[in-house]
Structure 1
Amino acid sequence: MARRERTSIFLLAAIAALSLLHVAATRVDEEEEADRIAALPGQPEVGFHQFSGYVTVNAAAGRALFYWLTEAAEHPESKPLVVWLNGGPGCSSVGYGASEEIGPFRINKTSSGLYLNKFSWNKLANLLFLETPAGVGFSYTNRSSDLFDTGDRRTAKDSLQFLVRWLDRFPRYKNREIYLSGESYAGHYVPQLAKQIVDYNAHATHKINLKGFLVGNAVTDNHYDNLGTVNYWWSHAMISDKTYRRLMSTCDFQRQKESNECESLYYYAMDQEFGNIDQYNIYAPPCSVNSSRSAPTRRTMRLPHQPRSGLLGQLAGYDPCTEKYAEIYYNRPDVQKALHANISGRIPYTWTACSETLNRNWNDTDASILPIYRELIAAGLRIWVFSGDVDSVVPVTATRYSLAQLKLDTKIPWYPWYVKKQVGGWTEVYRGLTFATVRGAGHEVPMFKPRAALQLFGSFLQGKPLPKS
């Protein structure tokens, strides 16, 4: 073959390859643009970009997970990507994380519009809120049985599939530093997804650039979480000495389901001795909005959230009825249209902050996440665990009891850390993990103590200990 002919063939092949790349790039641009949010109803003007929509994680079952990306307020191209997960299981990252904790907007009391959260975490990072598993929030499945046999394993696998396919849709994030974060039962979701990513990276051509994770008031280990919870109730005078002794002698905290006698003691403590309190912040006034759902049970004490009900009151900066505002706002047709949510009418039920169906029918749950912690510490991930110290659902004592089982060496001994010249909480740095408390914060730390939470998040991203002064 003549040299000119060979050159022509190579040139044609190169042109064809470039053409394919252009087609692929055009498809990605079109998918991204289709997910762009122009503006949400009642939204103040902002300078950052937002995207939301669906990523199919299982075509055969018709499972698709909903996401909402709020890019960093300044220089998003140089900021990391933080994936936020709420727990439950069955609770919405849009309803909680995005709307009352770390997102850029808050919903006003009339659910008619939004106002800015001046302590939003998108000051420091691009925030990707993921509603997982299918059946949570706007995420859906076409196979109804999925709602009755979902558990930890499928949630982790579907969340990995989501992230892989989402990064294909947003390739500019493929080489970005990625962190995972969440709270409550996301104490399972986050480490389990991190493990899925580490295992995926061992064989993937293009690895996910996972650097670490941050979890708050995290469900970690059945035995030590439950032991620590009962001790918290007693040490904070929520239960009597008699009930405490009976709980300690009757309950086998290692069991997935307690005996009927133990269950009845839990009910007695909550019904007769707790009083009308918000269990997610024992010093805050509960919401006065009536709820059709039942009072918390033994199961939901370990696997929060549940709606609050009770007396009307005020606490500086805290509105205990925020999830009710979310349920009104996200059921508005104009809001769903702006979010590209429920676009095909595939969701045959109203949007709720938490799915009772998923919570009641959770199929599998790890008794302990501590083995995953050991594996991820060995993998070199940055791991921070924080705890609001007035939460009685997954209290600070539960987290301390659980983490103590890791038997980690101390690098920096226990000390108070500061926010605006005030003690923000206490912290200890171990080899492989940092633990921090947030003083006066309830179960959702960024809602109760937004300034302290932002300080903690910033220190985490920098990989630096919390400030001593």
Structure 2
Amino acid sequence: MGSYIFCAILLLSIGISLASSIEDQKRDKISWLPGQPKNIGFEQYSGHVTVNEQNGRALFYWLTEAPLTHQPNSKPLLLWLSSGPGCSAIAFGASEEIGPFRIKPDGKSLYLNPNAWNTLANILFLDSPAGVGFSYSNTTSDLYTFGDQKAAEDSYTFLVNWLERFPQYKHRELYIGGISYAGHYVPQLAQIVYRRNKGLNNPVINLKGFMVGNGVIDDYHDLVGTFEYWWTHGLISDSTYKLLGTACVFGSSTHPSAQCTQAINVAAAEQGNIDLFNIYAPLCNSTSSLKRDLNSRYPGMSIAYDPCTDSYSDLYFNRPEVQKALHADAIGIPYTWKACSDVVQNSNWGDSPLSMLPIYHELINASLRILVFSGDNDGIVPVSATRYSIDALKLPTIVNWYPWYDSGKVAGWSQVYKGLTLVTVRGAGHRVALHKPPEAFIVFRSFLENKNMPSSS
């Protein structure tokens, strides 16, 4: 009799939990976005998930499921993290790179991205940490005390709580991805998921692998490769190249010193008014375009980046009707929405390990699928920086360096190591999916299918 009552209570609690999840999903479902094309054929959800009750800290997400014609219930889940630190995955990943929509120059209308990744997976975009995009904290000090570990813990809590809200994804294959400073976020979160999965009282998340694009991996090797790239591509003088090597690479074992910052400023002056995120790309001349500085990795490296698309996001996501449609207006939004948070970017970022290589080793040994990809026109985290960092892992080579093709043309190069695949994308900058959308789509498809890049012309 006692066991019968226990089972009845258990079934009742499960039923209540499922009913609550269904209601939460209904609340988060996006019925229509302003300027959205008709008949898009896929479902969308967005809203806030609390990660810290005491401080009132909540992260904002936007889920774009696979089209109904592509069987979303059978597709994996890709969690896409923001870069920066302090920049929005909604602004960049969702709206300019891999998401299903692009924003038109008027900042009012959307059009479909023909190379959207949600035809291959259900994409979950996350703004992290609090203070980025529509993510927030009711405790102001939170915004000034973030670091890698705290951001990773919040992202893990978000994922666990989000899966409670969307239980249909609980056992789905999960991949984690991102670019730039997400080169820290992605492996750190993957490490937490991997370790917590081994705990007896933790939910088991079906993590299969992760991917990082033009990501910060290892300070020493990243710096060596970056300065070498600037010099070999004619962006700096011989004397400045030597100065950078002395002041930044061999001058300190910690994050860039004052001498290093000064040397980087000299390099920036020599580089002139170019888009270092894509060194061969023309600058946007629109007077209304968003100007923002890069201060995401090396203090003092403030180089103007002015893609017109950034300003379109600023216009669109500041519209009250858009914020209402995204369920982002519940917090009142007492500030102007920005693609990158001034508060977070200028905060005292608490911890930023010098190297991700130990985490790579741990997760390679855990047999996770790992892809590192790089646009070869990027001057921020160049392909040479990535190659030096990957080489430092000392992994055996399975398939040596070879060209891969798209429509009969060389689209990049690849090398397959034991436990990791490196892919370069020819002619792409820091944000590969923005500059080379079809090629980026092929990279993601090959990663999901666990196949090498197409090697035949």
The residue identity in structure 2 corresponding to 1:72 is A
Which whole-Å CA distance do the structure 2 matches of 1:303 and 1:202 have between them? 42
Secondary structure of the 1:265 match is helix
The match for 2:193 among 194, 197, 222 is: 197
Are 1:263 and 2:261 counterparts? yes
Could you tell me the TM-score, scaled by structure 1's length?
Answer: 0.92
Post-superposition shift, 1:275? Answer: 1.7
Q: Which residue of 2 aligns with 1:114?
A: 110
1:403 partnered with 2:390: yes
Counterpart amino acid of residue 94 in structure 1: I
Q: Offset of 1:257 from its aligned partner?
A: 3.8
2:69 pairs with 1:80: no
2:126 is aligned with 1:140: no
Q: Using the alignment, how far apart are the partners of 1:210 and 1:403 within structure 2?
A: 22
* Structure 2 match to 1:245: 242
Report the aligned-residue RMSD.
1.9
Query: What corresponds to 1:352 in structure 2?
Result: 338
1:89/1:304 contact within 8 Å kept: no
Q: Does residue 1:378 correspond to 2:365, yes or no? A: yes
Contact kept? 2:265, 2:300, Cα under 8 Å: no
Aligned position for 1:315: none
> Displacement of 1:296 after TM fit?
4.2
Instruction: Give the Cα separation in 2 of the matches to 1:383 and 1:306.
Output: 31
Given the alignment of the two structures, is residue 60 of structure 1 paired with residue 40 of structure 2, yes or no? Answer: no
| Cα contact 1:301–1:393 (8 A) shared by 2 | no
> Do the aligned partners of residues 260 and 14 (structure 1) sit closer, same or farther apart at CA in structure 2, a change above 3 Å counting?
closer
Using the alignment, how far apart are the partners of 1:259 and 1:373 within structure 2? Answer: 27
Name the % identity. Answer: 52
Q: Match for residue 413 of structure 2?
A: 426
TM-score (norm 2): 0.94
Structure 2 counterpart of 1:99: 95
Mapped pair 1:40 → 2:27: no
2:22 is matched with 29
Q: Structure 1 85/328 Cα, relative in aligned 2: closer, same or farther at 3 Å?
A: same
2:212 counterpart letter in structure 1: V
Q: Distance in 2 between matches of 1:88 and 1:184?
A: 7
| Contact 1:302 1:394 survives alignment (8 Å) | no
Distance 1:304 1:20 in 2: 54
**d(CA) in 2 for partners of 1:303 and 1:47?**
46
Task: Map 1:308-319 onto structure 2 (within 5 A).
Answer: 308-309=305-306
Separation in structure 2 between the aligned mates of residue 230 and residue 241 of structure 1, nearest angstrom: 11
CA distance in 2, matches of 1:296, 1:173: 36
CA distance in 2, matches of 1:10, 1:219: 54
Shift, 1:390, TM fit: 0.2
C-alpha change, 1:41 and 1:261, in structure 2 (3 Å) is same
- 8 A contact 1:219–1:302 mirrored in 2: no
CA contact (8 A) 1:88 1:303 kept: no
Of residues 148-157 and 349-358 in structure 1, the stretch that sits farther from structure 2 once superposed is: 349-358
Contact preservation (8 Å) 2:35, 2:109: yes
Structure 1 20/292 Cα, relative in aligned 2: closer, same or farther at 3 Å? closer
Aligned to 2:43: 49
2:341 alignment partner AA: S
Query: Per the alignment, do residues 111 and 413 of structure 1 end up closer, same or farther by CA in structure 2, a change over 3 Å counting?
Result: same
After superposing the two structures, state which structure 1 stretch, 195-204 or 299-308, moved more: 299-308
- Partner Cα distance (1:11, 1:356) in 2: 57
Structure 1: gaps spanning 5 or more residues: 1-5, 310-319
C-alpha separation between the residues in 1 aligned to 2:377 and 2:385?
Answer: 12
Compared with structure 1, are the counterparts of its residues 44 and 382 closer, same or farther at alpha carbon in structure 2 (3 Å cutoff)? Answer: same
Trace 1:321-340 onto structure 2 (pairs within 5 A): 321-340=308-327
Q: Tell me, in whole angstroms, the C-alpha distance in 2 between the residues paired with 1:414 and 1:457.
A: 19
Contact 2:196 2:202 in 1 (8 A): no
Q: Distance in 2 between matches of 1:304 and 1:98?
A: 26
Deviation at 1:357, TM superposition (A): 1.9
C-alpha spacing 1:439/1:294, structure 2 compared with 1 (3 Å): closer
Flag the 1:302–1:446 CA change in 2: closer, same or farther, 3 A: farther
Asked if 1:277 corresponds to 2:280, the answer is no
User: Residues 187 and 218 of structure 1 are in contact (CA less than 8 Å); yes or no, is this contact kept in structure 2?
Assistant: yes
Alpha-carbon distance in 1 for matches of 2:189, 2:198: 14
Output aligned runs, 1:353-368, within 5 Å.
353-361=339-347, 362-368=349-355
- For 1:57 and 1:287, the matched residues in 2 are separated by 38
Q: CA deviation at 1:344?
A: 2.6
Q: Matched residues in 1 for 2:140 and 2:47: separation?
A: 21
SS in 2 for 1:51: strand
Find the aligned partners of 2:5 and 2:390 in 1 and give their Cα distance: 61
| Residue 159 of structure 2 is aligned to residue 163 of structure 1 | yes
User: Which residue does the alignment assign to 1:458?
Assistant: 445
Aligned-partner Cα distance in 2 for 1:391–1:216: 11
Structure 2, gaps ≥5 residues long: none
Match of 1:316 in 2: none
Structure showing greater Rg: 1
Change (3 A) 1:452 1:293: closer
Amino acid of the structure 2 residue aligned with 1:421: G
Amino acid at match of 1:395: P
* TM-fit CA distance, 1:16: 4.5
The one-character-per-residue Cα deviations of 1:159-179 (angstroms, maximum 9, x if unpaired) are 000000000100000110000
Mapped partners of 1:218, 1:409: distance in 2: 22
Pick the aligned partner of 1:70 from 56, 64, 67: 64
TM-superposed deviation, 1:343: 1.1
How many Å separate the matches in 2 of 1:300 and 1:350? 24
